Amino acid sequence: MATDPTAATWPRDFVWGSSTSSYQIEGAAREDGRGLSIWDTRCLMKGKVANGDTGDVACDHYHRYREDVALMKELGLQVYRFSVAWPRVLPRGRGVANEAGLDFYDRLVDTVLEAGIEPWLCLYHWDLPQALDDLGGWTNRDSAGWFADYTALVAKRYGDRVKCFATFNEFAVFTMFGYAIDWGAPGITDRAAHLKAIHHVNLAHGASVDVLRSLVRGVSIGAVHNWQLTRAEGGKPENEDAAEMLDQHWNRAFPDPQLLGVYPPLIATAIEPYVQAGDMARICRPIDWFGLNHYGPIFVKADPSATWGFAWGGPPDDAPRSEIGWPIYPGDFRDVLIQLTQRYKLPVYVTENGCGGDDKPGADGKVDDPKRIAFLSAYIGAMHEAIEAGADVRGYLVWSLLDNFEWGSGYTQRFGIVHVDYETQKRTPKSSARWFADLITATRVP
Ligand code: IFM
């Protein structure tokens, strides 16, 4: 019998919130001195993003952030995780800062705080400045230093008001899709580039942690990982090795070196040529929490023609799926939360969870999304079961506050609990937003 999260008792300090990311909602891509990112570039490439969509306007959050923060307040959110667009504050990725861009995040942080919400700042959610990609991006070892300098700029500017920082969002996704599989920017498919990117991003993480620790008094530092069970497609033995290979690349290539000081065995030898003396100590720096983004398992199949010999497969025909076809496995979510607590011994915050759909307003203007409510109820119930089984889960941030630019899928997939009409920019809280607000109220210990 699934746990009903609204009737469960939650830990006293458990926090509820939502997450967003800069490129997916801000828009104003060419305004106030913002530089270009690798996603601006990718959106201009034919066939890379559905319908030729771009993040040029997105949810126009750059101009409408006050309205969006008011919505968060109305829903009772306690925490808001957003990301800073590196090219907005450093248009060329390094060197001269852009005061107008820095001002925007000043205004945003102040507005969030005035609403009684705690701002959590993520330094990198995939929008690398194009000028740095022109120098090799994450395949260039200097990228760790560029990221440390960018961290220092952000820490000095907002560290008086923001105390919770994440270095990166979903290390494995943007490195694998950007450098091994052409599903994301910059769209390279090369093993060596992928290995270099993995190692340099790990170095960048470690350097950033040190900068944050030295510059922000009372800081709480985390890193956000996508961790999904990798299941052999069709349960077939010939897909088992592929599932193991993906597990080590997708789930362990970042948290293992960052928190345990070693690369997983299937990566260790291949990555050795890029590892210099002292690197593992540079990467493995103490942090305060593990951020988990989780949606469901990945079904994997062997594909000898692919960069790493694996490819995404499909779930069984009878698997429950969301409107956009992603498998719904709340039991996996529970298991992952328990495993992470045991493996890394850090408090876990669920920094993303949710589901995509094709939500539309009805004749009455209301947006009903019962499937999302069922999804959230099942996953949040499973999270509660994990806590009861000993998982150290301290908070849950729904993905996402707003419908937004969903990368290669453009605007075809809606993940928000608030509907956005992209023609008019009208925001309409969906029935899931009301459900989530009621859940927050019900779980607050008086
Ligand atoms: O929209 C993305 C987000 O940017 C990263 N995590 C998964 C979400 C849904 O695909």
Digit-coded pLDDT (tens) for 266-293:
999 999 999 999 999 999 999 999 999 9
Q: What are phi and psi of 229, to 5 degrees?
A: -65, 135
Architecture of domain 15-443: Alpha-Beta Barrel (3.20)
Q: Which residue has the tokens 């070892």?
A: 141
Q: Tokens 């913002």 — which residue?
A: 34
Ligand 1, closest atom to CA 407? 1
Q: Which of 400, 405, 409, 413 to mutate to test the pocket of ligand 1 (most atoms within 8 A of CB)?
A: 400
- Per-residue exposure over 377-405, b if at least 16 CB sit within 10 Å of its own CB, e if not: bbbbbbbbbbbeeebbbbbbbbbbbbbbb
Among candidate residues 188, 205, 306, the one with its CA nearest the CA of residue 246? 306
Write down the residue that tokens 């907002």 correspond to.
158
Write out the catalytic residue numbers. Answer: 170, 352
- Residues lining ligand 1, Cβ inside 6 A: 21, 24, 170, 293, 352, 399, 406, 415
Report pLDDT for 1.
72
Look at residue 178 in the predicted model and tell me its pLDDT. 98
Atom of ligand 1 nearest to the CA of 399: 8
Contact between residue 138 and residue 130 where contact means Cβ atoms under 8 Å apart: no
Q: What's the 228 CA to ligand 1 centre distance in angstroms?
A: 13
Cβ-in-10-Å burial (0-12, 13-18, 19+) of 217 comes to exposed
Q: For residue 440, how far is its CA from the centre of ligand 1 (angstroms)?
A: 23
Which among 293, 323, 405 is the best mutation to test ligand 1's pocket, defined by most ligand atoms within 8 Å of the CB?
293
pLDDT of residue 2: 85
Nearest to 37 by CA among 52, 53, 55, 21: 55
Question: pLDDT value at position 446?
Answer: 66
pLDDT, residue 444, reads 83
Which ligand 1 atom sits nearest the alpha carbon of residue 356?
Answer: 9
The CA 208 to ligand 1 mean position distance, Å, reads 23
Task: Supply the pLDDT for residue 176.
Answer: 98
C-alpha of residue 278 to centroid of ligand 1, in Å: 33
Alpha helix ranges (H) inside 30-170: 38-43, 61-75, 86-89, 99-114, 130-133, 143-158
The pLDDT assigned to 226 comes to 97
**pLDDT the model gives residue 34:** 98
**Which of these, 110, 100, 126, lies nearest to 162 by C-alpha position?**
110
- Looking at residue 286, what is its pLDDT? 98
Q: Which atom of ligand 1 is nearest to the CA of 226?
A: 6
d(C-alpha 169, C-alpha 153), whole Å: 19
- Report the chain (446 residues): mean pLDDT per 10 consecutive residues: 91 97 99 98 98 98 99 98 99 98 99 99 99 98 99 99 99 98 98 98 99 99 98 97 98 99 98 98 98 98 95 97 97 98 98 98 98 98 98 98 98 98 98 98 84
